[in-house]
Amino acid sequence: MPKAPKTTAGAKAKRTTATKDAAKPAKGKNASSKAPEKAQAPRGRGRPSKAEAEDEDEDDGEPTSMGFKDVKTAQFTIDSLKDRSLTAQRTHINAYMQRAKTHANPTKGMKAAVAVFEKWLKVDYPAARGELRASGFKPMVPKDTVAKLSATFDAEGVGGLAREFADFYPALKSRARLSAQLVDPDDIDQGDWETVRYEQLAKLLPPGKEDPRTWGAGELWDDEGAPTREHLELLAWAWSPLPMRTVIHKIDAFLAEEEGEEA
């Protein structure tokens, strides 16, 4: 097989010179005057994020939906929840605050919104809880005890929202919260059952009557041991001023006697 011709020293020199010349920038009228483009700064090193750009272009209009965009939106969120129970308010406001804190691109507006939410949770919420009567009328009468009184409610004419609640409450799942149950799922303005229950009990019960010592003989139980009409209204809302053990024992005794008479 024939060997390739040897490269001479002159050829090597020409090739090296050509390579070096190609690497040099061109000169003269045919050379491009356009400067090379600078590399874009990576996000977080001089280049604003999309959220930051939106924050700078933020309009001054009033918020129309709940969220955590800025102070106005945070306050709008709090105001929009004021008709819900305190439990529901705390759940939602805390959720919005956590979303703002963990946002991938937090803005100055979001950080300011977090401060608004934190103030409500640390100051306003405890103050509102302290104003509740009978700690929000808790504890509640057990579900099975309320369910046992269904026929008695009907016989004594307990109706309206109280009767509706007396059916709804015993059927509620064990881990479900009243604060998460809307009275009308299609109308949030009607509030949740925890709010409605508290408001109705506050109307039924004069101030100071949360204390069992303020009730006289015959006001809660009649001479035969049956709950009075006034007491039944409270029991339909799953509450009694008496200790729960006493309530359960007396109601079981009353129902057992009624069953014995029917037999």
Predicted confidence (pLDDT) per residue in 17-76, tens digit: 444 444 454 444 444 444 444 444 344 333 444 444 344 344 557 888 999 999 999 999
* CATH 1.20.120 in the chain, residue ranges: 137-262
Any idea what DSSP says for residue 58? -
Helix or strand run (H / E) with residue 165: helix 160-168
Cα–Cα distance measured from residue 97 to residue 93, given in angstroms and rounded to the nearest whole number: 6
pLDDT of residue 221 exceeding 90? yes
Please, are residues 234 and 158 in contact by the beta-carbon 8 Å criterion? no
Q: 26-35, 83-92, 204-213, 224-233 — which is least confidently predicted?
A: 26-35
pLDDT of residue 255 exceeding 90? yes
pLDDT of residue 155 exceeding 90? yes
pLDDT > 70: percent of the chain: 76
Does 3.40.5 match the CATH number of domain 137-262?
no
Instruction: Quickly state the pLDDT bin for 188 (edges 50, 70, 90).
Output: confident
Instruction: Quickly state the pLDDT bin for 145 (edges 50, 70, 90).
Output: very high
For residue 47, the cross-strand partners are 43
- The whole model's pTM is what? 0.68
Output the pLDDT for position 48: 40
141 CB-near residues (< 8 Å, 6+ apart):
235, 238, 239, 240, 244, 247, 248
Output the pLDDT for position 30: 47
